[in-house]
Amino acid sequence: MNILLIVIVTAVLQYFGPWWTVVLAPFLILLWRPATTSFRSFATGFLAIALLWLAYGLYLHIRSEGAMSNRIAEIFSLPNGILLLAVTSFVGGLLGGFAALSGYFTKKAMP
């Protein structure tokens, strides 16, 4: 449930705002509805953002037949756009994961 919430809120925030809004929803939603463990919190945020970036990136990659992503991959010495997509979602996942973890720990730290 949290994953879905994060995905939806982040998609809206990212569409209108700058890239770093990506950390807001995982933090706030885990602060509001913390998971049972810190690991689960991290995983929630990680999966939500990684999935979101993966899905949207994959859509843009397929729609353009990799016209841009394959070239950018080459600039970064990666073999193809799909691998670049994996890197992209991993970076997004890290951001989401640590933001969610922060939300969880902050909740715990609150009286």
Which stretches of the chain bind other proteins, using CB under 8 A?
14-15, 18-20, 22-23, 27, 38, 53, 56-57, 60-61, 63-72, 74-75, 87-88, 91-92, 94-95, 98-99, 101-102, 105-106, 108-109
Q: Which DSSP string do the residues of 23-38 spell out, in sequence order?
A: GHHHHHHHHHS--SSH
Least distance to other proteins from the beta carbon of 82, Å?
A: 12
Least distance to other proteins from the beta carbon of 1, Å?
A: 22
Q: Which of residues 4 and 80 has its CB atom nearest to other proteins in the complex?
A: 80
Least distance to other proteins from the beta carbon of 25, Å?
A: 13
Handedness of CA 79, 82, 87, 88 (dihedral sign): positive
- Quote the CA–CA distance of 92 and 23 in Å, as a whole number: 9
In contact, 17 and 90? CB cutoff 8 Å? no
